[in-house]
Amino acid sequence: MSMMDMTTFEWEPGLVHAAGLRETQLPRLVARDGDR
């Protein structure tokens, strides 16, 4: 997931809640992008 996707979550009302639930997964996603 790219930073752009996270920004999309911020302005998407329905996804804001989902983004909050995924907060614990963000570190894992960031590390994933770091590998690329």
Residue 28: per-residue pLDDT:
66
Residue 24: per-residue pLDDT:
58
Residue 29: per-residue pLDDT:
61
Residue 36: per-residue pLDDT:
56
| In contact, 9 and 18? CB cutoff 8 Å | yes
Model confidence, pTM: 0.17
CA distance 9 to 17: 9
CA distance 1 to 36: 11
User: Domain extents for the chain?
Assistant: 3-35
pLDDT digits (tens, 9 = 90+) for 1-36: 555 565 555 556 666 566 665 565 666 666 666 665
